[in-house]
Amino acid sequence: MLQSYLKSERISNAFNFFDKFRNRRRLPRKLYNTMIVGLCKVEKVDFALEFIREMRNSGSFPSNQCYEETIKLLCQAKRFDVVINLINELEKGDFQFTSFIGNVLLFHSLRSRDLYDAWIRLRDTSNETSKYSLLGQLIGVFSGDVEVDQDIGNLDEVIEQCFPLDIYTYNILLMLLSKGGMDCAYELYNRMCRKGYKPNKWTLHVLIQGLQQCGRTAESRRLLEKLVWKQDMLVQMDACRMNEIWEGDGQWVGVFE
């Protein structure tokens, strides 16, 4: 019932329904989580923040999805101060960052330096744990404010110390590397394939766009052609599935191998 109210954006009905349970007994964690995620889905992030605080004050901890949806919306609205305040709270609870949250933070760091500015301004670095300190450095690297004192092509190994990698992490990292030329991006792409990650349409778009921005237009055309045809097999472009290029025995083929 609560989900139905939220999906149809009948927010007052959702609040009234929630209050009936609040007045009867201690609210179950699942009900709080449903309310917070549902409010985020209809872009009522301020209400979601209120329920997160209420839930924390009651001694319960919101689900990962609650924080994922909330942080995503706040970043989209460029409310980075609120994001950093949430991260400060998460650090006190020894929260383990999910791939989703880590990717959102790195993606928005790549787009502007505003998130890193908020991090520097609002983070208490005196009591900062090593994982959070490293995340702050990564945000600085992606925003262009922190220089890397090691091989930038191995940044995926550094990121993995903060949160689990997935294909979207590699896509964002490819976006960063392609800004400085395509050699490091090629190397990362091939290493990603060897590790078993399957590129999706975003991956391929990043590579082709990177080549075009470097003035390597002919190479970008050849890459696109190679993606469409591999071993005389037409790759079916399905908007609902990842682009996949397979050898006859079913093995994944890295484009730049």
Note whether 158 and 237 are same-domain residues: no
User: 126: pLDDT confidence band, cut at 50, 70 and 90?
Assistant: low
Note whether 173 and 153 are same-domain residues: no
Q: Which of 40-49, 131-140, 147-156 has the lowest mean pLDDT?
A: 147-156
Residue 142 has pLDDT above 90, yes or no: yes
Please state, in angstroms and as integers, the Cα–Cα distance from residue 185 to each residue in 45, 182, 221, following that order: 36, 5, 17
Q: What is the pLDDT of residue 167?
A: 93
From the list 254, 105, 109, the residue with the least C-alpha distance to 186 is 254
Note whether 160 and 202 are same-domain residues: no
Pairwise pLDDT comparison (48 vs 243), residue with the higher score: 48
| Residue 71 lies inside a defined structural domain of this protein | no
Quote the domain boundaries for residue 36.
1-62
Q: Contact 197/160 with Cβ under 8 angstroms? A: no
Number of domains the chain is built from:
3
| Residue 74 lies inside a defined structural domain of this protein | no
- Rounded to an integer, the average pLDDT of 224-243 is 41
Q: Choose the final residue of a domain: 136, 165, 194.
A: 165
| Residue 5 lies inside a defined structural domain of this protein | yes
Q: Supply the mean pLDDT for the chain.
A: 81
Q: Choose the final residue of a domain: 10, 35, 62.
A: 62
Note whether 242 and 189 are same-domain residues: yes
Burial class (CB in 10 A: 0-12, 13-18, 19+), 163: buried
Q: Choose the final residue of a domain: 165, 187, 216.
A: 165
Query: Which amino acid type is present at position 180?
Result: G
